[in-house]
Chains A and B, each alone.
Chain A
Amino acid sequence: MSTTTYVKAINAALADAMRADPRVFVMGEDVAEGGPYTATAGLAEEFGTERVRNTPISESAICGVAIGAAQSGLRPVLEIMFIDFITLALDQLVNQAAKAHAMSGGQLSVPLVLRTQGGAGQRGGAQHSQSLEAWLAHVPGLKVVMPASAADAAGLLASAIADEGPVVFVENKALYFRREEVPDERPPVPIGVARTLRQGGDVTIVATSRMVGEALAAAEELAAAGIAAEVIDPRTLVPLDLDAIVASTKRTGRLVVAHEAVRFCGVGAEIAASVAAAAFDYLDAPVERVGAPFAPIPLSPPLEDAYLPGAADVVAAALATLGR
């Protein structure tokens, strides 16, 4: 075991992939300088600026370039610095990357990884803090990966780079610099397989990204009250490991879904509806959803703190499913 951070794990996984496969290259704004969170630090020194390419602030064009390069046989890892800026690349991602394989009758494939990061809590304001993953999960042809730990970030990034299609890899800035113990080996983590982080028989809590840590904290608090919570991190939103979530919910009879994104039309709504359809007879209470309110993220510290969902919200939701 050794100590690392989420962002260091990503950096190491990128370097591993670039060493193993000359088709892999990195591009994005300031990537040769390491980027604002050091995710690509040192890569330009090892691999040169042909393979670690700084780009202008042209999200549409650079996303399109990555798609074209992928169609022509390379394995680009594109960084969109903040998920808030993915709006500028969405035409490329949605209309070109996601559909190329289907519209070409399988002739084209786009082995592209689009790395980006979201999440609030750092006083970034409404345009640097969002969680927009539900938009991406709504687009057939894209895979959407959302790791919550350093080991998963490294393992899922390896799998994303090896994938034959476009994968959006959504990191969370609040997780980047947390220290974690990880195995010395970095095995790939398959896309589409959930991870159960804590077992319990009273309530299932499904959480994504930063909310995984909040859910584990909530589970501790619930345990103190004699409630055994099971905590599941789907790790990838598309494809979604619904089987794992349904199996757990059938055991516990209660489900809480927690994400940092706005609750309305969030991924939690899809999970709640799917579980209700698959396990209606097993549910002892309505599915509870935890998410952000339907408002732009405020800058002011007390307002942002109040806006952000956290462990207390997860505890309250779990208690609600128990009628407490």
Chain B
Amino acid sequence: MSEGAPEGASAVELLRTMRRIRAFEERVGVLKRADEVYGLIHISIGGEGVAAAVCGALRNDDALYSGHRAHGHAIAMGAPTDRLMAELMGRADGVCQGLGGSMHLVDTAHGLMGATGVVGGNIPLALGSALAARLNGSDAVAVVIFGDGAVQAGHFNESVNLASLWRLPVILVCENNGFAEFTPRSAHTNVERVSDVVAPYELESATVDGSDVGAVRDAFAGFLGAARAGGGPFLLECLTHRLRGHYEGDAVQYREALAAEEWQARDPIARLERLGVERGWLSTAEIEEAQRAALEEVEAAVEFARASPWPDAGSTERLTYA
């Protein structure tokens, strides 16, 4: 655990958020196999630390952009889990009225300005939101979270150049889980660390262990404060481990399963719980309560979503143009 490990209330908050994400996604995995949620479903189990630490630090007037693996980011931004679940089920009460789905979650009231199914496709949008904040004289910050697979795309490199050139208050957060879809990073590029890719642009960057939620929180807090004060851009590279395949139902034979003890070392929740108890930041009761409350919330979300009607037939046409 890093020097700036979470303490007291914030450790409980981070744990609760991670537990809510874990419970939501484990339930979604079950629902996917039962064909109750639709489309490609990308699960972030193992990556909850980044969501809790990064999104939990943002305000509703900040702009967060995410990718296809966005459930955790949406939950950590404050999007209601019942409406998220309804969205995954394509229902009228979904955050996007059922028109978006798992890969396109949006909740503008909580600063979630978009998630995209095009890998890295909304990185430049975050620059645009950062530019808007600057031109409006606001201290709001834009953050975009993407996987290491996006780094090899042209729009990533164009965006890094432009963000650097214009000194935009944007924080690029890369979840480097070592896999771009189905193949390891080494099959995509010779540059192992994303922070090395951006080095020539003189971006301030840091690489942290993404399963160390305290380390992510502290590194991000430094960048966030600097961006609010007019600095930027920044790159935070979080080394994570994706326990599941690329999407629910893929073959997952391209990667060897983690040994149980190794997963214990890489699971951000288990790590925080162990350390929290050891250091006295968390009680066993708090840990159990976080788990119980998360499961209860998710069951309520499933019931809410199941009871929600399908969108009305006119929604498709009505929502095509603003």
Contact = CB atoms under 8 A, between A and B. Distances in A.
A102 B320 contact: yes
B319 A91 contact: no
Given A65-B127, A68-B129, A102-B99, A56 B165 contact: yes
B125 interface: yes
A193 B210 CA distance: 55
A196 interface: no
Interface stretch (B116-124, B181-189, B302-310): B116-124
B100 to A, nearest CB: 4
A105 B95 contact: yes
A31 interface: no
Nearest to A73: B132
Interface residues of A, number: 43
B313 to A, nearest CB: 15
Given A91-B118, A92-B124, A105-B98, A68 B142 contact: yes
Nearest to A109: B322
A101 B320 contact: yes
B97 A105 contact: yes
A67 B125 contact: yes
Which interface residue of B113, B116, B125 has the most chain A CB atoms within 10 A?
B125
Contact of B121 (A50, A71, A95): A95
Given A68-B130, A96-B121, 10 more contacts: A51-B135, A56-B165, A61-B155, A63-B124, A64-B124, A64-B125, A68-B126, A68-B129, A72-B63, A107-B108
20 contacts: A25-B135, A55-B162, A56-B161, A60-B154, A60-B158, A64-B122, A68-B126, A69-B129, A71-B129, A72-B128, A72-B133, A74-B135, A92-B155, A101-B319, A103-B100, A104-B96, A105-B96, A106-B322, A107-B107, A164-B322
Interface of A: 25, 50-51, 55-56, 58, 60-74, 76, 91-92, 95-96, 100-111, 140-141, 143, 164-165
Interface of B: 63, 65, 94-100, 104, 106-108, 113-114, 116-118, 121-133, 135-136, 142, 154-155, 158-159, 161-162, 165, 316, 319-322
